[in-house]
Structure 1
Amino acid sequence: MSLDTVVEDIRDEARARADDIREDAEKQARSIISEAETDADEIVEERKREVERQIEQEREQRLSSAKLEAKQERLEARRDILEDVRESVEERIVSIEENRTELTRALLDDAAEEFDTDEEEIQVYGRADDAELIKSILAGDDGTGVGNEYDEFTYAGEYDCLGGVVVETENSRIRVNNTFDSVFEDVWEDSLREVSERLFEE
């Protein structure tokens, strides 16, 4: 066998072996690429799911936040309306003229029951615009024909209120607030639910 033939055989064998190695490498490469593509697809799908979850979560948060904001705005609007109603009622109370004398005397009579007139002078306070009315009630010349029952009672000055009286002993040991405000506050608190239901049709 000649040297050329041996060399040619070795070359053929080397080529065949190289072809086998190349084929195996290509198979492995295809397998690796296929796995990588599968992994990539799974990663993409997982990322999509994560993004969708995040979008849904953000949507829920924004929706919840919008609902809460709307609820707060409704509550604020209701509070404003109730405050307007309250102010309107207070304006009507402060402008009461008919029966104002009788109402003021009734509140004063009720407050007077808390005091022992033998002990000390009793001071009466009221709304500035009601000063003359209160003085006339205390003097017994308010036109009701009841007479003077308040010898120990003295008009002592102004009190910021819608009407009615605040009565206290000279040393402030006893104090009774019988203003229109205090009566209205009790009525308002008792009626607030009913007023709300009527206004807002709950």
Structure 2
Amino acid sequence: MGLEAVVNEIREKGQREAEAIRAETRAEVEKILKEAQERAAAIKTAAQEEAERTASHIINQETSAANLAVKRLILNAQKDVLDQVYSASLAAVGDLLAEFQEKALTSLLKRAAKEIREGVVHANERDTPIVREILSRDKNLSGYTLGSPVEIPGGIIVESKDGDLQIDYSYRTFLDEIWESCLKDVSDILFT
């Protein structure tokens, strides 16, 4: 065997070893790349899931905020309607017929006389002549004098002579009592 054959054999052996090393390196590189791709895919999946959770959370928050805003608008609109109904009711009670006003004021004065024997009666300007007439003709109300007109939609306000006691029998007071006790029913009728 000549020197050339030994060199060829060494060269072939070197090439085989180099090829084996390259194959081993390629396998290692592929393994590392595959692991890196798997980690990247896992990171990407986790990031997508987190982004979806965050987006879902934000959407839920925004939806809740929008629903709350809509509910607030509806409640404000309903309150406005209830306020209009209250005002219309108060105006309607104040605009009842004169015969009704006289009967109502007579009844209220008799009721007040049970609590305050002597005092001053205040009514609105429209009802002052009616109250004056009732006080002048009913002997049971002789302890009362007519006071100055007050800004009420109807009814009376009676003060004791010493000013320590006051009874508010104005229509607004009665309507407020009824309104408070029936507000849910009124709301149900209007908004259901």
TM-score band, normalised by shorter chain: 0.7 to 0.9
Shift of 1:3: 7.4
Give the distance between the partners of 1:139 and 1:12, measured in 2 at CA: 141
For residues 150-171 of structure 1, the C-alpha deviation after alignment (integer angstroms, 9 at most, x for no partner) is: 3331222132211111111133
For residues 77-128 of structure 1, the C-alpha deviation after alignment (integer angstroms, 9 at most, x for no partner) is: 22122111111111111112332111112111111111244xxxx1211212
Matched position secondary structure for 1:166: strand
Match of 1:184 among 141, 154, 175: 175
Shift of 1:10: 5.5
1:20-39 equivalences in 2 (<5 Å): 20-39=20-39
Asked if the contact 2:110–2:141 (Cα under 8 Å) also holds between the matched residues in 1, the reply is no
Q: How many residues align?
A: 191
Gaps of 5+ in 2: none
State the match for 1:124 in structure 2.
121
Give the TM-score normalised by the residue count of structure 1: 0.81
State the match for 1:112 in structure 2.
113
1:15-54 equivalences in 2 (<5 Å): 15-54=15-54
Shift of 1:14: 4.5
Gaps of 5+ in 1: 141-146
Asked if the contact 2:124–2:154 (Cα under 8 Å) also holds between the matched residues in 1, the reply is yes
State the match for 1:197 in structure 2.
188
Give the distance between the partners of 2:159 and 2:69, measured in 1 at CA: 48
Asked if the contact 1:137–1:148 (Cα under 8 Å) also holds between the matched residues in 2, the reply is no
1:20-169 equivalences in 2 (<5 Å): 20-98=20-98, 99-117=100-118, 122-140=119-137, 147-169=138-160
Matched position secondary structure for 1:129: coil
CA RMSD of aligned residues (A): 2.4
Matched position secondary structure for 1:113: helix
Of 150-159 and 35-44, more deviation after overlay is shown by 150-159
Matched position secondary structure for 2:163: coil
Shift of 1:8: 6.2
Of 8-17 and 180-189, more deviation after overlay is shown by 8-17
Asked if the contact 2:90–2:171 (Cα under 8 Å) also holds between the matched residues in 1, the reply is no
